[in-house]
A and B are shown apart, each in its own frame.
Chain A
Amino acid sequence: MEFDALVLSRIQFAFTIAFHIIFPSFTIGLASYLAVLEGLWLLTRNETFKTLYLFWVKVFALSFGMGVVSGVVMSYQLGTNWSVFSAVAGPVIGPLFAFEVLAAFFLEASFLGVMLFGWKKVGPGLHFASTVLVAFGTLTSAFWIISANSWMQSPSGFAGTVEEGLVAVNWLQVIFSPTFPERLAHMVLAAYLTTALVVAAASAFRLLKDASETESAMALKMSIGMLAIVAPLQLLAGDLSGKDVREHQPAKLAAIEAFWETRTEQPFHIAAWPDRELEGNHWELSIPKIGSWITGGSVETEIQGLDAFAPEDRPPVFIVFWAFRLMVGLGLAMIALGFWGAWTIWRGSTARNQAFLRACVAMGPTGFVAVISGWIVAEVGRQPYVIYGVLRTEDAVSPIGAGAVSASLLAFLVVYAIVFSVGALYILRLLAEGPVAGAHEAPPSQDRPPGWALGAAPEDPGPPDKEDR
């Protein structure tokens, strides 16, 4: 493979966007969770919710910061590395990005300040409103960015060609392209699942040390409830999204399932070694016929194989096939964990069930892995196109040299490695301390020098409760 500006730009984009998506997938869910916690605290005045809020908001701040800075990069990288794409697609999907900035980014960024620093500056109602607005902002942002991405997957509502330029003819069809609703639901549910798994893992870790920590027991129960409901729903949303793929991107579906031959009664490959050179699978472990049933609803349905597409129009198969299986396998494990957790709640043994708590800790990072796998399926599976059927990736790249891109790619690798490892360390350190450590005994604040007289004093835990006023 020749490392030209195209290949390097693709590696750089894949790396920076995979790094970026880690944070939104967590903060979209966490913002909603914080809004629920603060709402419950205001409603019930149960201190457990406040302690949990003040704990998870710190984790939120760390993750959100990393999401913001890695997101700013994306808004410039479209131009620096994919200028032909920008010039061609700008008149159609430019407004979707603009709406994301105007409707979501400013909202999140401005009210995040109030959320983090306004605890003692504004009343509880305004503070709660700020948390809700941040949560709303994260969802609005997901709406617009998934809308833009879905248009690139299943473009509709436009006219023109790459040479003469594209122009929108129906904005509703541009914004609500055919695959958009299912893909938005799939991503938002994925974010909620990712957050539930992290909250469950952190709480279970604390409970393994101290089964009587009521805050962690409460958080664990909340995340089990989330998992038990959302994980099965996600299977449904994923299936709907898969039906869209069959209709709009049949080559991607063929790659996902490693179907090489167009036929009815497709087998379902549980595992296989697909090879594009061979135009087939080196080996496969399959169940006969039910591939057609899973993807088409009936064993008699004819499903297109990769033989229906010219070799230069086929996506990479191996990575798409396996990324999909990893995602679905983890999804099934999440469903099992949710049901297991529900069963422990029914038995009243959640906080003491060592095997379950260990399983929660082990499953903590799987949401991130599933999200990245899912995006690999979506983005690699639509190759060789960047705008499906309209613009090829190889034609979208900027007129820049390989030297500049190698330098920037190297710099991104170094900077992101530092930011990610330090960020992960600080978050894990916080999670290991747990919600109670920072709330009650208050270690000397790190912001204050050790010699300072008030350095040893407990931190003001927040505004006085209503009863005290």
Chain B
Amino acid sequence: MDLDLPLVWAGIIALAVLLYVMLDGFDLGIGILFPFARSPRDRDTMMNSIAPYWDGNETWLVLGGGGLFAAFPLAYAIIMPALYIPILLMMMALILRGVAFEFRARGRTRGKAFWTGAFAGGSTVAALSQGLVLGGFIQGVTLNGEAFGGGPFDWLTPYTLLVAVGLTAGYALLGATWLIWRTEDDLHGDARRWAWRAAIASAALLVVVSLATLFVHPQVAARWGFEDGAFDLARLALLSPIPLLGLAGLGLVVWGLAKGGHVAPFLGSLTVFVSGYLGLAVGFFPNIVPYDLTFRQAASADNALGLMLVGVAILLPVILAYTVWVYWVFRGKVGADAGYH
């Protein structure tokens, strides 16, 4: 049996990025919501609810980047310079919010205030820059042969700004619904109100971004049935499960919020993210650098992909198993004094 190694690896990278967006999404969301908390104690609880997980969540970002380098070196070598500024902005933001987990607990009055701000600001800037990276990727990258051939600000357009705001709203929704699940009392109540607002904003922005994406490249429009001024209903119908899944996710969020459910809103938000992710992916697939380089052209040597696949086949199930175990160990509602400091 011959495995289609590049296709398998495209799937693995896609899975890593999706897991990153969902997992780090909710913990970046906590940071985005930080300024709205009513007391330092609530902020402690919010941070404690993610403290045991954030490092593992962020590791999926390293797998996304490292995996892209390893499996599709050419794509990595084009995308990274093309999105230089937003990627490094994201790194700085992740540094500041990452160290804030420890530093905020160690700081005294001024230090604590500074790192509270750094956590909120860093999380928000990281979310916005991830949106810019995503938008810049979707709108396409200018090539010069097999290297990046565009300018340093190609990524900055109204479309990418829209995606940045949309992704940030989505992360806020993930964060708020996570808090509904994992906290109680006043904070739980606040989280419900945040979730309502974030859900409305996310739904509106999702619609706007989806429509705007149809205009970024003819290939995307064609995938969804709009080609040469004509409309092909059959194509849209074929892809309709994707938007329907998003609608179902939103429905679950709204139903959960209205009925007072604790887990349903979070599961609903995750579903919305899966739908949005698939919806964007069908637009540019099989390109790995939209819209001129396919994943097959960018793939590493077969022997490298094969060797790594052995590693993934053994290690990925183990990683998923202990990740689930860690989430299970720290299950249940979280209080302000769950830290170890």
- Name the one of A79, A113, A121, A412 contacting B77, with C-beta atoms under 8 angstroms: A79
* Docked complex Cα distance between A26 and B86 (Å): 31
Inside 8 A of B336's CB, which chain A residues have their CB?
Answer: 447-448
B-binding segment of A224-232, A234-242, A394-402:
A394-402
Minimal Cβ-Cβ distance residue in B for A430? B106
Inside 8 A of A270's CB, which chain B residues have their CB?
Answer: none
Give chain B nearest CB distance to A208 CB in angstroms: 24
Give chain A nearest CB distance to B31 CB in angstroms: 14
- Name the one of A78, A167, A419 contacting B96, with C-beta atoms under 8 angstroms: A419
Q: A75-B62, A95-B311, A98-B70 are in contact. Are A62 and B300 (CB under 8 A)?
A: no
In the complex, whether B69 has a CB less than 8 A from a CB of chain A is yes
* Docked complex Cα distance between A81 and B329 (Å): 40
Inside 8 A of A114's CB, which chain B residues have their CB?
Answer: 52, 326, 329
Q: Which of B271-323 contact A (CB under 8 A)?
A: 300-301, 303-304, 307-308, 311-312, 315-316, 319, 322-323
Minimal Cβ-Cβ distance residue in A for B112? A446
Q: A65-B101, A447-B341 are in contact. Are A109 and B56 (CB under 8 A)?
A: yes
- Name the one of B56, B108, B303, B311 contacting A446, with C-beta atoms under 8 angstroms: B108
Contact B63 A113 (CB under 8 A): no
Question: Total interface residues on A, using CB and 8 Å?
Answer: 78
Q: Which of A64-99 contact B (CB under 8 A)?
A: 65-66, 68-73, 75-76, 78-81, 83-84, 86-87, 89-92, 94-95, 97-99
Contact A106 B51 (CB under 8 A): no
In the complex, whether A356 has a CB less than 8 A from a CB of chain B is no
Inside 8 A of B340's CB, which chain A residues have their CB?
Answer: 57-58, 116-117, 119
In the complex, whether A453 has a CB less than 8 A from a CB of chain B is no
Inside 8 A of A78's CB, which chain B residues have their CB?
Answer: 69, 80
Inside 8 A of A171's CB, which chain B residues have their CB?
Answer: 303, 307
Minimal Cβ-Cβ distance residue in A for B149? A399
* Docked complex Cα distance between A167 and B111 (Å): 50
Contact B99 A66 (CB under 8 A): yes
Most chain B CB neighbours (cut-off 10 Å) among A79, A97, A112, A121:
A79
Contact A69 B330 (CB under 8 A): no
In the complex, whether A178 has a CB less than 8 A from a CB of chain B is no
In the complex, whether B265 has a CB less than 8 A from a CB of chain A is no
Task: Show 25 A/B contacts (Cβ-Cβ < 8 Å), sorted by A.
Answer: A58-B340, A65-B102, A65-B103, A68-B98, A70-B95, A75-B62, A79-B76, A80-B88, A86-B76, A87-B76, A90-B74, A91-B304, A94-B304, A98-B308, A102-B311, A102-B316, A106-B319, A107-B322, A110-B322, A113-B55, A117-B51, A398-B80, A408-B85, A422-B99, A449-B41
The 7 nearest A-B residue pairs measured at CB: A90-B73, A79-B80, A94-B70, A113-B52, A83-B77, A87-B77, A69-B98
